[in-house]
Amino acid sequence: FPSQQYRYALINSLAPFKMLFSIYLEAFKLWRKKVPFYRHPKKIKVDKT
């Protein structure tokens, strides 16, 4: 049944966008609650010589 295959392909092609949307939605909720944002600490380079 081609219609089921097309629907499956459409739903699965939109999955990454759904994931990105949910990540940004959670970030927005945290920002709205004024939760502090902590940047990732810079890595300390270790000289291996």
Q: Would you kindly state where each structural domain of the chain is located, as residue ranges?
A: 1-49
In the predicted model, is pLDDT for residue 15 greater than 80?
Answer: yes
In the chain, % of residues over pLDDT 70:
96
Query: What are 47's two structure tokens?
Result: 């000289």
Residue 31's pLDDT band (boundaries 50, 70, 90)?
A: very high
Place of tokens 């999955």: 15
Q: What is the mean pLDDT of the chain?
A: 89
**Residues above pLDDT 90, as percent of the chain:** 47
Which residues are CB-contacts of 37 (< 8 A; sequence separation ≥ 6)? 31
Q: How far apart are CA 21 and CA 15, in angstroms?
A: 10
Q: What is the pLDDT of residue 1?
A: 59
39: pLDDT strictly greater than 80: yes
